[in-house]
Each structure stands twice: as structure tokens, then as C-alpha cells.
């Protein structure tokens, strides 16, 4: 018998779930084909779920973490059926494979290592119910944390403000509601935010395809801009805050996020626009001292050389395609987590926040 997915009470602007557990299967929105098509894919085995992470069927650090937790359930179910007495040993290779699906998002390794700890501590009998309960708790906790972060972030915004987002940090990137876009949801519902601008976010266009789609689905008015228009937008005085998510936050507050975040932070500081990072504490890696120690994923050249499957660059040219960049803590005005707000982050402030 399947266990029901995490239940959520009715919250304004909160309709979308990118990751679900349905009838004993992992269910994902295929984010690669939005907004042209809205389709779900179903997964019964860990290797397929891991490839879905690598191939960006699901993306966004928190959503990847939730997906990984459910993938471990799939692996445990398979390994227990194959060998009820030796499944704990057999699953270790699966966990290692899953952890390598995307290197930058710390939530992936966090979820894998948390589930590995439960497995190594010993589970008698069929591990599926116990691990599924933990995966669903991780999922529900992420949604609750996002809603709390939305309230905390919105409290920093003056009524009538314009905000700018980069990449997608909404329900599609999390267990539900969103991190940075959760602040937008809460701020708009509270009347704090009067206008939302979304960077298109090259080369995967997560802002154009995903953030814009979410905002349209929720009925939140927004304007899409080219990434290169953000600086001029700030000069016009149309935004008071840039609000972004994070794939990893180092111990000193340096933050890895989608490529283009760093240049947006530099422009924001120059124009007196505040810069907010919104992410759960599972994204904070206190074992990584600073941004220089964060591994940055480099993706295929084809993502830059092509657009929509059509070659747009001349043959013979090379491309460099880092998926993320590092925004130094000195350019960040506030880091918002479910444990609270850190303004002008430093190592000592991050340590204090994580100890709460």
C-alpha cells in the first residue's frame, strides 16, 4: 500500500509540486520541456532517478535533495527484494552513484548521506516503509521551511517594492513553494511587492521557461528580461531587491548559484540595490570554508552553441559553460534560512545561525 504524499494546507500562490511520491513511484515534472509541454515522468529504480537529476528533468538544489531521498527508497526496495540479508551492503554502490549525479548542489549529498546513516544504523525487515517515511518527512520539512523563509524574507522588503529574480527558485526547484520565489510569493500576498522582474537565465532559460511559467500559473504579474538588461533595470530604480537561491553556501557566506548571479550581485551593489540569498540550512556547507572550495560543474558546450536544438554558433568555435558562479559574502545583504536571517554574512554569523 502506498504512503500518501506530504499534505499541505491551502496557502496563497502554492499550487505546484515538482516532486511527488505516488502509488509507490517517484513522480517528477519534466522541467526540460516546460512551458511548451506539461508532463510527468515516473521512476521505479535509483539509476533512472539519478539520470533524471543529471539530465535536469528535476533541478534546483532542494528539489534534487528531495528526489535523492526518494531515489534511495527505490534502491532499498530493489536491493531488499534481491537479497533480504545483504541489501545494506549492496546499496552502498547505488548511494555512491546517486551522490555523483550533480556535484555542486550540496543538498544531494546531504540527502544521500542522511539516508545512508539510517541504513548503516540498521533497519530490521523491509526497509522501504522506514526510509519512505524519512523521505516524506524531508519533503514536508522542506515545504514548511520554504514557507517560513518566505515570511522572513518578505519582512525585509518595504511595501511597494520591485524585485528581480535569477534562475528558478520556486516550487519547481524545491519540495514546494520555493526559496527565493517563496519570498516573492509571500511578499506579493502581503502587498509588499508591486512588481516582479525575472532574468531569462541563459543558457537553459530557467527564468524564461520555469520562473515565468510558475508566476503565470499563480497569477502573479511579472516581466521577463534578458540577463543583460538587469543592470539597466537597476539604474532605472525599478527594483529594491535582487532575490536569489543557492546551490551551496560556504561557511563564510560565499554562495554558489546559477551562472550570472555574481554579475547581478556586482551590479546591485553598484546601484544600491539590496541582495538577498534564500536557501534552507541543508544548502549551507560548514565543511566548505569559502567559495573558492566549492566545486563548479561545467556542462556540455552544446548548451551554449545550440538553442532549442538548433546550432546558433559557427562550426569551429568553442564554448565555456560553467553552470554556477560564486557570489562573495561581501556582496550579500541578507541570507535567509529557516533558522533566521543573517545580515552582512560573516563566518562567525554563519556559525551562530547554524547553531540555533
Burial of 89 (0-12, 13-18, 19+ CB in 10 A): exposed
CA angle (329 as vertex; 327, 331 as ends), nearest 5: 70
- CATH fold of 152-354 reads Rossmann fold (3.40.50)
Q: Where are the domains of the chain?
A: 19-145, 152-354
> Is residue 295 scored above 50 in pLDDT?
yes
Domains 19-145 and 152-354 share a fold: no
- pLDDT at position 10: 67
Active-site choice (78, 142, 227, 247): 247
Res. 4 pLDDT band, cuts 50 70 90: very low
Q: 228-276: per-residue pLDDT in tens?
A: 999 999 999 999 999 999 999 999 999 999 999 999 999 999 999 999 9
Beta bridge partners of 243: 165, 276
Q: What is the pLDDT of residue 349?
A: 98
Q: How confident is the model at residue 3 (pLDDT cuts 50, 70, 90)?
A: very low
Question: Is 247 in the active site?
Answer: yes
Query: What pTM, to 2 d.p., does this model score?
Result: 0.89
Q: How many Å apart are CA 193 and CA 130, to the nearest integer? A: 42
CATH number of this structure's domain 19-145: 1.20.120.420
Amino acid at each position: 500500500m502506498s504512503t500518501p504524499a506530504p499534505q499541505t494546507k491551502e496557502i496563497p500562490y502554492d499550487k505546484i509540486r515538482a516532486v511527488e511520491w505516488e502509488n509507490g513511484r517517484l513522480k517528477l515534472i519534466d522541467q526540460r520541456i516546460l512551458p511548451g509541454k506539461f508532463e510527468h515522468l515516473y521512476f521505479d529504480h535509483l539509476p533512472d532517478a539519478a539520470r533524471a537529476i543529471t539530465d535536469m528533468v528535476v533541478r534546483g538544489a532542494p528539489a534534487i535533495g528531495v528526489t535523492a531521498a526518494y531515489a534511495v527508497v527505490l534502491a532499498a526496495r530493489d536491493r531488499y527484494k534481491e537479497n533480504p540479508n545483504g541489501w545494506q551492503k549492496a546499496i552502498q554502490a547505488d548511494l555512491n552513484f546517486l551522490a555523483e549525479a550533480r556535484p555542486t548542489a550540496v543538498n544531494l549529498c546531504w540527502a544521500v548521506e542522511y539516508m545512508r546513516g539510517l541504513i548503516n544504523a540498521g533497519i530490521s525487515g523491509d526497509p522501504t516503509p522506514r526510509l519512505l517515511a524519512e523521505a516524506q518527512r524531508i519533503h514536508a520539512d522542506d515545504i514548511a521551511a520554504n514557507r517560513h523563509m518566505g515570511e522572513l524574507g518578505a519582512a525585509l522588503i518595504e511595501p511597494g517594492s520591485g524585485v528581480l529574480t535569477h534562475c528558478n527558485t520556486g516550487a519547481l526547484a524545491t519540495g514546494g513553494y520555493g526559496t527565493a520565489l517563496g519570498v516573492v510569493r509571500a511578499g506579493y500576498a502581503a502587498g509588499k511587492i508591486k512588481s516582479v522582474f525575472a532574468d531569462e537565465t541563459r543558457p537553459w532559460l530557467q527564468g524564461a521557461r520555469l520562473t515565468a511559467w510558475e508566476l503565470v500559473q499563480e497569477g502573479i504579474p511579472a516581466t521577463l528580461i534578458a540577463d543583460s538588461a538587469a543592470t539597466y533595470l537597476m539604474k532605472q530604480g525599478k527594483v529594491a531587491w535582487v532575490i536569489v537561491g543557492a546551490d551551496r553556501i560556504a561557511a563564510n557566506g560565499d554562495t554558489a548559484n546559477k551562472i550570472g548571479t555574481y554579475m547581478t550581485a556586482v551590479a546591485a551593489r553598484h546601484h544600491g540595490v539590496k541582495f538577498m540569498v534564500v536557501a534552507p540550512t541543508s544548502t549551507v556547507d560548514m565543511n566548505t570554508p569559502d567559495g573558492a572550495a566549492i566545486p563548479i560543474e561545467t556542462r556540455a558546450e552544446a548548451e551554449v552553441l545550440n538553442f532549442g536544438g538548433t546550432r546558433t554558433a559557427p562550426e569551429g568555435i568553442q564554448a565555456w559553460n560553467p553552470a554556477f558562479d560564486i557570489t562573495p559574502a561581501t556582496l550579500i545583504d541578507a541570507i535567509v534560512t529557516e533558522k533566521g536571517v543573517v545580515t552582512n554574512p560573516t563566518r562567525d554569523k554563519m556559525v551562530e545561525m547554524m547553531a540555533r
